[in-house]
Structure 1
Amino acid sequence: MHSSYVFFTGSACGLLLLISARLLISYRHQPAGRWLIVMLAGVLCYLLWPLLSLEHPLVKLLFDLPTILVPAAFWLFAHQLCSEEDDFPRWGWVPIGLSIVVPSAANHLNFATTPALHGALYVLAQPLKLGLIAAGMVELFRHFQSDLVEARRRLRAVLLIAVGGYMLVVVSAEFLFTYWPVPAGIPTLHALLATLLTFAACLWLLALSPGALGESLPPAPEESSTPTEETPAPAAQPLDTAQQQLLEQLQAHMRAGGYRHTGLTIRELAEQLGAREHVLRSLINRHLGYRNFNEYLNEFRIDEASARLADPGQSHLPVLSIALDIGYRSLSPFNAAFKRRHNCTPTEYRREQLPA
């Protein structure tokens, strides 16, 4: 095996262990942190696999399993990072289960008498991997514009472009080189790129912005009482005159019903207020405490909806009409936002407020 390949692979593995140790110390209590650790463990096993001579079938399966889990862990981490208010879809566990069972069977069952079945399982495993990675990238892209946490927006961009894109290339190349010879230098190039990615991650996580990941991840579950060592978010600075004026202008605009504009984005709101988008984004995040622009809009929209649903004079209005009036495109997102606030549907809420 080429010495440069061994060197770069060892370097990447050492850096991955360093990052994993940092994550275990600070973020093991958070679901997103745990999925990120699983993903890094899978990458570590993937890089080490060509350097090891594993013979026992059970040992090979246990060592290969973290690698098989990488696409699923990437999707689950992306969902936890970006969808704080939404549960992971139940249907998502079906492709995740298939993405574990199919490659495990293809890699570790004996197909001496049925080689065609082995080929079919191997071919099926590839679109499953690509599909899960693509699903994770879609999660990272969704609501990117409405995300108010600047550190998380940067993390989304890095994961989307660097990590997700690189994983898609690796899976596609793996499948391609199953049927064609691997060109000289490709394994070394792969190890070099893995080293550069992990070095950049270490530099960012441990030196340049040690608190960025803690700021990006959703809060740990309340039931977890074990403290973490993440860097606390800095306290918001007092507003200067321009910021105070913008805040007052924003509040007046919202009280006047600015939130009712269907499909309102923070960019459009900044244009309406004559403000810079990044200034408005920071104001809503750091001084009003919202992590997502839609969450901010929902506060006003659900307040108005609650009042209108409890108003006997509007009892004749369909729920859909109220939802459209206050800025929602359809009933589904309105119902979801309303239920998060009141733990009941709009129809149930109206029935409680206006008993027959």
Structure 2
Amino acid sequence: MSLIEAAVRGGAFFLLILVAALLLRDARRVPAGLFGALFALGVACYVVVSASAFATGLPAWLFPAKLVGMGNPVVFCLFAAAVFDDDFRPSWWHALAWLAIVALGASCFLIGTPLARVGFSIVGLGCSALGAWYALAERSLDLVEQRRRLRTVLMVVIAFYAAAIIASEIVFPNGSGGDGLALALGTGLLAITMVFVIVLLSVSREGALISFGQSEPQPLSVAARAPATAPGLTERSERDDDTRLLAGLRRLMDHDRAYREEGLSIGGLAVKLGTSEHSLRRLINQRLGYRNFNVFLNGYRLDDAMTALADPAQEEVPILTIALDAGFQSLGPFNRAFKSKTGMTPSEFRREQLGRRTRVAAE
């Protein structure tokens, strides 16, 4: 291993360990911190075991580091889920998925045939692609601007670089790419680590490396109330603009029921309000406390559906019809969203509400 490669890999390794320690520190209050720390540790392990010095054979004492690195594609997916999905909750099957891919990687490594290694690399590519998809799938619905930047700047770069590493292992198995490839991979790892740190620091607003703020969603009527303190001239002008925009948004949602429109996007809603998409995202996120545009729309849709289900005049109307009228595209997402909000299925909610009305009328 050349001196340059050793310096590059050493720099990447210690920077990754530092990032892992900081993320682990934040894990209690920022759920993504744990998976970010595990991901950084996995990359640090790969930095070591992929060095050209071990191309001819890996020492037994480094085999645990090899196993940790093998599980990193799954950790990457979990990291993406924890960062970008506000409803994500770790489960036992996530640990089983990690153990499964580590066991598969260890088996392929011990078998040692090119076909086995290529097979495992393809599985890793699939996990990297899934993580990248997770980062990009709902970018248009994300109302947190810092997190939107993280989706494109960080997660896609990591995913593509992970894919490049796995592809290089397929094309050049057992370090056959020589010192040049090892140095190129090491340099890339150092570069991606620096991007990882810079982007995480740039999105931090609460002292944690991964922190986007969290506030409870509130009705438009509450958000429109003027603050008790007197703002400055610039702040007053911005607040006046926000107040006008909030009034227009309230008219569209409460009076015009724009949420019922099929395929309504935040861009389409911005056009209706005569404002920019960025301004509308900021308004819904910072003034109303929503982090996802679909959650914002579904709040109105669920209230609409709950009113219809509790109406005796609509007792014979099918639940699917009520869901579609409220703006949902199918029954499955409606049922899940409804139970998440009320703790009951739509049928149970309807029976309870209509039964309560019957008892009140009988009294």
**TM-score (normalised: structure 2):** 0.83
Change (3 A) 1:329 1:19: same
Distance 2:306 2:9 in 1: 58
Conservation of the 8 A alpha-carbon contact between 1:149 and 1:291: yes
Query: 1:128, CA displacement in angstroms?
Result: 1.4
Corresponding residue for residue 351 of structure 1: 351
Change (3 A) 1:197 1:283: same
Corresponding residue for residue 304 of structure 1: 304
Change (3 A) 1:28 1:68: farther
Distance 1:98 1:124 in 2: 14
Which residue identity lines up with residue 185 of structure 1 in the other structure? G
The yes-or-no answer on 1:240 pairing with 2:239 is yes
Corresponding residue for residue 316 of structure 1: 316
Corresponding residue for residue 215 of structure 1: 211
Q: Deviations over 1:58-109 (max 9, x none)?
A: x4432222201210001011112222225579987776553221101222x4
Distance 2:45 2:213 in 1: 25
Distance 1:193 1:310 in 2: 59
Conservation of the 8 A alpha-carbon contact between 1:20 and 1:40: yes
Conservation of the 8 A alpha-carbon contact between 2:121 and 2:169: no
Query: 1:122, CA displacement in angstroms?
Result: 2.6
Q: Where in structure 2 are there 5+ consecutive unaligned residues?
A: 216-234, 359-363
Corresponding residue for residue 224 of structure 1: none
Corresponding residue for residue 42 of structure 1: 42
Distance 1:204 1:39 in 2: 16
Distance 1:278 1:37 in 2: 32
Corresponding residue for residue 150 of structure 1: 145
Distance 1:190 1:344 in 2: 52
Conservation of the 8 A alpha-carbon contact between 1:102 and 1:122: no
Change (3 A) 1:241 1:291: same
- Give the 4+ runs in structure 1 shifted more than 4 A: 51-54, 86-97
Conservation of the 8 A alpha-carbon contact between 2:150 and 2:199: no
Report the 3-state secondary structure (helix = DSSP H, G, I; strand = E; otherwise coil) of the residue aligned with 2:35.
helix
Distance 1:29 1:187 in 2: 38
Query: Which of 135, 144, 155 is 1:140 aligned to?
Result: 135
Change (3 A) 1:191 1:120: closer
Moved more, 268-277 or 98-107: 98-107
Distance 2:121 2:278 in 1: 40
Conservation of the 8 A alpha-carbon contact between 1:270 and 1:280: yes
Change (3 A) 1:91 1:326: farther
Change (3 A) 1:89 1:326: farther
User: Superposition RMSD on alpha carbons, in Å?
Assistant: 2.6
Distance 2:94 2:22 in 1: 29
Distance 2:21 2:175 in 1: 38
Distance 1:218 1:313 in 2: 40
The yes-or-no answer on 1:274 pairing with 2:270 is no
Distance 2:204 2:281 in 1: 22
Q: Deviations over 1:268-290 (max 9, x none)?
A: 10011111000000000001000
Distance 1:301 1:88 in 2: 28
Q: Deviations over 1:92-133 (max 9, x none)?
A: 7776553221101222x4x5xxx7xx5554333122111111
Change (3 A) 1:94 1:318: farther
Which residue identity lines up with residue 212 of structure 2 in the other structure? S
Which residue identity lines up with residue 138 of structure 2 in the other structure? H
Q: Map residues 256-267 of structure 1 onto 2, 5 A cutoff.
A: 256=255, 257-267=257-267
Conservation of the 8 A alpha-carbon contact between 1:24 and 1:37: yes
The yes-or-no answer on 1:170 pairing with 2:165 is yes
Distance 1:218 1:339 in 2: 23
Change (3 A) 1:268 1:280: same
Distance 2:21 2:97 in 1: 30
Q: How many pairs were matched up?
A: 329
Distance 1:29 1:103 in 2: 33
Corresponding residue for residue 203 of structure 1: 198
Distance 1:197 1:131 in 2: 20
Report the 3-state secondary structure (helix = DSSP H, G, I; strand = E; otherwise coil) of the residue aligned with 1:168.
helix
- Which has the higher relative contact order, 1 or 2, with Cα contacts under 8 A spaced 6 or more apart? 1
Q: Map residues 48-197 of structure 1 onto 2, 5 A cutoff.
A: 48-49=48-49, 50=51, 55-56=59-60, 59-85=61-87, 96-107=98-109, 109=110, 111=111, 118-178=113-173, 181-182=176-177, 185-197=180-192
Corresponding residue for residue 4 of structure 2: 4
Distance 2:172 2:132 in 1: 24
Query: 1:179, CA displacement in angstroms?
Result: 7.7
Query: 1:176, CA displacement in angstroms?
Result: 1.1
Q: Where in structure 1 are there 5+ consecutive unaligned residues?
A: 220-236
Percent identical across equivalent pairs?
A: 33
